[in-house]
Amino acid sequence: MSNMTIGLIGIGIMLVLMFARQWVAITMFAVGLVGVMVINGISSGLSLAGTLPYSQAANYTLACIPTFVFMGCMISVSGIGADLYDAASKWLSKIRGGLAMATVVACGFFAAICGDSVATAVTFGKVSFPEMKRHGYNKGFAGGTIVAGGTIGSMIPPSIAFIIYGLLTEQSIGKLFMAGMIPGITQVIFYCIAIWVACKIKPEYAQVGESYPMREKISSLGRITPVIIIFIFIMGGIYGGFFSPTEAGAMGATFTLLVGVIMRRLNVRNTFSALTEALKTSGMTLFLILSAFFFLRFVTASGLTVFLSETIVNFQATHNVPPIVIIIIITMFYLITGCFLDALAVILLTLPIIYPIVLALGYDPIWWGVIMVRLLETSMITPPVGLNLFVLSKAIDQPLVSLYKGVVPFLICDVFHIILLVSVPQLSLWLPSHM
């Protein structure tokens, strides 16, 4: 039996176990370790099991995951999400659909210090959904707005998805953070346009809100100033080369803790709650990453990645297929796969196979990181099984069917946004090129 056949069998077994609802991390670890033993021998597999966990866990870059997660958890429990929504709503409420736009804008700011789409969606499900419902918004449209706004959490840095991508592909995490900035901002703009168009077509979706005096509007900005300062501090430091993403995570968490204590938003109880949640999330994420490295070693040892990339490149050259056609096929694959699995799991499972193909086609790895994360976040709000839809449905106690209808304008918007990012790579590459 050839190594490639063993590789295909291993991938097949892993998919069966995953669809049987086994843990992704344990599945990748077991398949990866056994696969290496079959290909390279039992002694080689045991040696790998003894050295790989320590060598990867000791990776300095991994330290940025718990620090950024802790920072996001502190922001979540401090109630700053409500301040962000309050400020945005005061400035935009006079427009029809203004509260929905405020939700998207607030999600953008929250994403700048959270880095997770599900956490962003759940936070604003608690904050903005009751307000939109109170002002007569269509419940499905309000829920769809929050679900879509949550996806911004993985695009605007700091993003856990970008950190994982950078670790597995050995790309600069700082450059990936910068690459997500402009796409994240344009995503917010696109969503606001989608809300405006949807409310023009169906005015019953949203009502015109109340007007606030300028004094209240300006006062609301004062309460979100700490968030802006934290974001500028982190991103400015990375962009200017003053500190690495790992150092930025530690300094950002410390700065957030100090600001929270000074503003009396953080006390012993909610800080401990944030720390506990951060430890759980970080432990799960790090276990997934270590398991992914075992799976990566197995796939590499099987020769499957080299074979697939060479086969696809030769097919593309022989039949004069434009490389963009291959990218479109991969795009459709991610949109479908992401409907069934969490974005992080999809990245860990598919990157060892897809990444060499993208490189062989001559595409920039930083640009592909942005496209990949954007595709997966879109798939997480795609009916019928988008993960964010299920999470928010439970969080706000709304039927899935209403969210399916409410998210349609944003899915249409996502298609145009992805086309823009694919067509104009400089939107992703301009900031990293100046680092």
| Amino acid, res. 407 | V
Does residue 337 register a pLDDT over 70?
yes
DSSP labels for 155-223?
A: TSSS-HHHHHHHHHHT--HHHHHHHTHHHHHHHHHHHHHHHHHHHHH-GGG--------HHHHHHHHHH
Neighbours of 115 (CB within 10 A): 27
Residue 51 lies in a domain: no
pLDDT band at 77, cuts 50/70/90? confident
Residue 263 lies in a domain: yes
Residue 47 lies in a domain: no
Residue 1 lies in a domain: no
Residue 338 lies in a domain: yes
d(CA 177, CA 277): 24
Sign of CA dihedral 366, 368, 370, 372: negative
**Mean pLDDT confidence for 382-403:** 81
Query: Domain range holding 428?
Result: 61-433
Residue 50 lies in a domain: no
Residue 131 lies in a domain: yes
Work out how many domains the chain is built from and give that number.
Answer: 1
Does residue 24 register a pLDDT over 80?
no
List, for residues 152-179, the tens digit of each pLDDT value: 888 888 888 888 888 888 898 889 999 9
Percent of the chain with pLDDT over 70: 98
Contact 304, 4 (CB under 8 A): yes
List, for residues 31-52, the tens digit of each pLDDT value: 889 999 998 888 888 888 888 8
Does residue 81 register a pLDDT over 80?
no
List, for residues 351-368, the tens digit of each pLDDT value: 888 888 888 888 999 999
Residue 420 lies in a domain: yes
d(CA 8, CA 14): 10
How much is the pLDDT for 175?
Answer: 92
**Mean pLDDT confidence for 223-236:** 82
Query: pTM of the predicted model, to two decimals?
Result: 0.83
How much is the pLDDT for 317?
Answer: 79
The alpha carbon torsion through 407, 412, 418, 421 (nearest 10 deg) reads -110
Higher local confidence (pLDDT), 114 or 100: 100
